[in-house]
Amino acid sequence: MNDGTVVIVGGGILGTMHAVSARQRGHQVIQLEREPEARGASVRNFGLVWVSGRAPGPELELALRARRRWAEVTADVPDVGFRPAGSLTLAADETELRLIKEASARPDAAARGFEVLDPAAARAVNPALGGEFAGALHCTQDAIVEPRRAAAALRAHLARSPGYTWLPGREAVAVAPHAVRDHTGQWHRGDLVVVCSGAAYTGLAGPHLAAFPEPPLRRVRLQMLQTRPFPGRVTTSVADGDSMRYYPAFDLPGRRALPPQPPEAARTRAQLLLVQRRDGGLTIGDTHEYDEPFGFDVDEDAYDHLRARAEHLLGTPLPPTQRRWAGVYSQVTTDELYHRSPMEPGVVLVTGPGGRGMTCSPAIAEETFA
């Protein structure tokens, strides 16, 4: 790059990881965010750096590279809360256990750090699991970050050195070769402009996306909750057997033997994922809504299902719910792992990693600059 300036649109994790990568390469960085602080998918997620569920091949490789990058780039930024806690996917019965055993025999099982554990061995890893289950798949490569803090903490770290400018409250409204104009009329020029505008498909990215013959992206809405502090320590993240119905790593013969989900879970396409936050609260989700217009409210039956499932696995009542929210992510409709397309010379749109965006963001940013 000639003058080594990179302009980034979007203060979510994808934009912020691009800022981190650009600064590491010695470029000047200007990062715009339309809100006073980013409040999209990147602060609404579980903070799961999730390797276990990834499809074999390029998706797994991207996630493993990203997981290594998470550990590197957060070494000096403790507020990100990166912890290599691993995960346990719990089998409710013999059918789910058979699928877990199949997954542990995958050729890439060692790269994922897969091991099948009986209930006693799973409780030795995570003593909070006081409920009933038939066995567990331990994944040592899964990790956790604090989503409400991660991107902001990385940006605060960048801002401690010269060469980085954070411009919140600036909505990018137009692009031209190597430049972007914000709503105040100011142009920001660089050798490269990276637009990481998440699930905003109108506005800046609108005309560009509308020119595709088929929509390359779709939006997905998820419901989440967080409890008040849980008294015990939940040492790993936890997934239930329903997660194996959705994650491609479990697309194995045994998946076809799984019975239908309970009606409430099937209706809301629910899976249980559970992570303990640093304050002790449990982040619990999620559901999946694909058809727009999305509901503007949250569905209490889905929460009842997820809370009951978590209580069953932990073997104890959950603390009261403290927060409920929904989030929307941007997902590619193609076989790609995420979407990257040139909007103008020197201007690139990067979005659409779907439910793997928090995980893969550091590696996606590296690929932009590679």
Ligand X SMILES: Cc1cc2nc3c(=O)[nH]c(=O)nc-3n(C[C@H](O)[C@H](O)[C@H](O)COP(=O)(O)OP(=O)(O)OC[C@H]3O[C@@H](n4cnc5c(N)ncnc54)[C@H](O)[C@@H]3O)c2cc1C
CA neighbor of 204 nearest in space, from 349, 38, 364: 349
Of residues 49, 82, 14, the one with CA closest to residue 22: 14
Residue 6, strand partner residues: 29, 192
Tell me which residue has tokens 């509308």.
210
Residue with tokens 């629910």: 270
Q: Does 45 bind ligand X (CB under 6 A)?
A: yes
Q: Which is nearer to ligand X, 158 or 222 (CB)?
A: 222
Which of 359, 362, 363, 365 is in the footprint of ligand X by CB under 6 A? 359
| Between 116 and 152, CB nearer to ligand X | 152
**DSSP 3-state of 279:** coil
Q: Output 133 or 166, the one with its CB closest to ligand X.
A: 166
- Which residue of this chain has its Cβ atom nearest to ligand X in the complex? 357
Kindly tell me which of 12 and 254 has the beta carbon lying closer to ligand X: 12
- Our CB check for ligand X shows the closer of 28 and 42 to be 42
Nearest-approach distance from CB 345 to ligand X, in angstroms? 19
Residue 126 structure tokens = 């995570």
How distant, in Å, are the alpha carbons of 46, 302, 347 from that of 50? 10, 23, 30
Q: Does 86 bind ligand X (CB under 6 A)?
A: no
Stretch that binds ligand X, among 43-51, 91-99, 243-251, 294-302 (CB under 6 A): 43-51
Residue of 5, 7, 10, 117 that binds ligand X (CB under 6 A) = 10
Q: Pick from 6, 8, 14, 209: which binds ligand X (CB under 6 A)?
A: 14
Residue 127 has which token pair? 């003593």
State which H helix or E strand residue 89 sits in: strand 87-91
Does 329 contact ligand X by CB under 6 A?
yes
> What is the Cβ-side half-sphere exposure of residue 98, based on CA atoms within 13 angstroms?
10
Q: Which of 23, 34, 98, 307 binds ligand X (CB under 6 A)?
A: 34
Among 46, 114, 164, 166, binds ligand X (CB under 6 A): 46
Q: Closer CB to ligand X, residue 127 or residue 177?
A: 177
d(CA 330, CA 334) in angstroms, rounded, equals 12
Q: Report yes or no: 52 and 249 within 8 Å, Cβ to Cβ.
A: yes
Residue 19, by phi and psi: left (phi above 0), alpha (psi -120 to 50) or beta? alpha
Site string for ligand X, 183-202 (x = CB under 6 A): -------------xxxxx--
Minimum distance from residue 263 beta carbon to ligand X (Å): 22
Whole-number Å distance between alpha carbons of 151 and 47: 11
Using rule CB under 6 A, residue 353 touches ligand X: yes
DSSP for 170-212, written as a single string: --EEEEETTEEEETTS-EEE-SEEEE--TT--SGGGHHHHHTS
Which of 6, 8, 38, 272: binder of ligand X (CB under 6 A)? 38
CB of 25 to ligand X, least distance (A): 20
Closer CB to ligand X, residue 38 or residue 129?
Answer: 38
Closest distance of CB 202 from ligand X, Å: 9
Q: 267 to 286, contacts with ligand X by CB under 6 A?
A: 285-286
For residue 225, give Cα distances in angstroms to 23, 61, 298. 35, 30, 10
β-strands 273-276, 339-344: how paired?
A: unpaired
**For residues 30 and 314, which CB has a smaller minimum distance to ligand X in the complex?**
30
Binding site residues, ligand X, CB under 6 A: 9-15, 32-35, 38, 40-42, 44-48, 50, 171-172, 196-200, 203-204, 222, 224, 285-286, 327-329, 351, 353, 355-359
